[in-house]
Structure 1
């Protein structure tokens, strides 16, 4: 997630335009869908203040006595997330049952190999941890410095219900991997956050993958220059090479989900920003 402000994280003024013009809080391919790529008049551009107000209404903006903003569990955002989670749980019930049936089988007579262990892969920001409070604190203007300061001292809430879904899937036999564009320097803060808000799964280096531009792993041919899609799909392929079958991949950006190396993808809603 911590990427250069303009080139890698097109903020609310562009990404949310796509959502509103398309009539949905989910981005589609994440590119502006206004009538013209370059607006001919101001009437083709939603008013930025009104866009932010719609985002707050969608998340059920709740302000505490000390001025902090939080999303409501009764919001349309929370309802939409619960619907996605219900579909994911139904799918995973069947997928894990099938996969466990295969792993219980003897080794394949030709290859001598057992079926791969089932796994799920999840992005972090706005897939497992909700950035809404952070976004309101920075006025939807993300910078690496602001994110570092926030993550060092503050735990983000879990995305509504995702902690329960992840823990349930792990209890059913799925190995859980977190795959985030956060930088390697944010590892300790990220792991602390996941643990503190209830993700009761292994959170060691072999289960939590962050972006390390200084020392990129050898399994990524693109090295320090990987795009989000290259980084995430390449890491999923690496996970599969370790003997896992990724039965489900969860993300709030389409770049979290593209590139294959998963049986099924689940897109979480996020009208606050766009990552190509």
Structure 2
């Protein structure tokens, strides 16, 4: 099978994002929607499994993940998700809802002249706007890994065993595919007047590779430092009171709060983890599917 052109190697080959992980077995409930997995599984969960029957079989979990993504293997052994997979279909359904919502939200924002005094309160209730009731510009915020860029090839390459070293090597030399259809949705929203911001847990040292990847796979939006936010533990920004010790929620919600302070109204926030979405400072959130890992 010829190598899909959508996944481009820029050098030898690179990796994913800064992620604190649970093992792939932990995400079974995201794949199957239940703790019951296979014949003889227990019907109740305990924080510490009482028998092996309460623990999903790791090989079976990985096989289900591959089936969900429509795993396609090329002649050179590279793994890709299929555009005909259940994953791709689920993503397209979420994108359709997002597009319908954004069509109305952006039109209303334009009609109202960006007048909105409804502030986000940091509690994840979807509020947003300016405290002084002044005019705002509509914006959308997106996470990067498995929200705008698909990590599936990297995950299979490392056997779902993320390390900072393999991630760096991979990101340096390889462009991840866009999450199916997300580049088109983002570009469409930008054309409708939404400013686009990316907030990722990737390290500041990975900025050049991340921006290159977004650009190469069709995100035709501003990708400068004012629009792409990466985690900087060495020199955390002054607008984050938690500094270098921020949790994911504190870092992402605090950055959204900062973006709104610049005069933007975040009408939608997209992420594959609940920690991408919690904390407020967005009128509506959209959760992308990800059964491969969990990031608190």
Q: TM-score, normalised by structure 1?
A: 0.90
Question: What is the distance in 2 between the residues matched to 1:177 and 1:216?
Answer: 18
2:149 paired with 1:129: yes
Do the aligned partners of residues 103 and 233 (structure 1) sit closer, same or farther apart at CA in structure 2, a change above 3 Å counting? same
Do the aligned partners of residues 41 and 252 (structure 1) sit closer, same or farther apart at CA in structure 2, a change above 3 Å counting? same
Corresponding residue for residue 100 of structure 1: 110
Aligned CA RMSD, in angstroms, stands at: 1.7
Corresponding residue for residue 17 of structure 1: 28
2:282 paired with 1:262: yes
Corresponding residue for residue 195 of structure 1: 215
Counterparts of residues 138-149 of structure 1 (less than 5 Å): 138-149=158-169
Corresponding residue for residue 51 of structure 2: 41
Corresponding residue for residue 65 of structure 1: 75
Question: What is the distance in 2 between the residues matched to 1:53 and 1:239?
Answer: 41
Deviates more, 1:186-195 or 1:41-50: 41-50
2:92 paired with 1:82: yes
Alpha-carbon displacement from aligned partner over 1:155-210 (angstroms, at most 9, x marks no partner): 00000000000000000000000000000000000000000000000000000000
Question: What is the distance in 1 between the residues matched to 2:69 and 2:33?
Answer: 18
User: How much has 1:35 moved relative to structure 2?
Assistant: 1.8
Corresponding residue for residue 29 of structure 1: none
Question: What is the distance in 2 between the residues matched to 1:56 and 1:112?
Answer: 49
Question: What is the distance in 2 between the residues matched to 1:181 and 1:271?
Answer: 18
Matched position secondary structure for 1:250: strand
* Cα contact 2:24–2:293 (8 A) shared by 1: yes
Counterparts of residues 164-243 of structure 1 (less than 5 Å): 164-243=184-263
Pairs aligned (count): 258
* Cα contact 2:114–2:137 (8 A) shared by 1: no
Matched position secondary structure for 2:283: coil
Corresponding residue for residue 12 of structure 2: none
Deviates more, 1:114-123 or 1:127-136: 114-123
Question: What is the distance in 2 between the residues matched to 1:264 and 1:201?
Answer: 21
Question: What is the distance in 1 between the residues matched to 2:44 and 2:164?
Answer: 30
Please state which structure has a larger fraction of its residues in helix: 1
Question: What is the distance in 2 between the residues matched to 1:39 and 1:21?
Answer: 19
- Segments of structure 1 that go 5 or more residues without pairing to the other structure are 25-32, 106-110
Do the aligned partners of residues 112 and 59 (structure 1) sit closer, same or farther apart at CA in structure 2, a change above 3 Å counting? closer
Do the aligned partners of residues 134 and 254 (structure 1) sit closer, same or farther apart at CA in structure 2, a change above 3 Å counting? same
Do the aligned partners of residues 172 and 47 (structure 1) sit closer, same or farther apart at CA in structure 2, a change above 3 Å counting? same
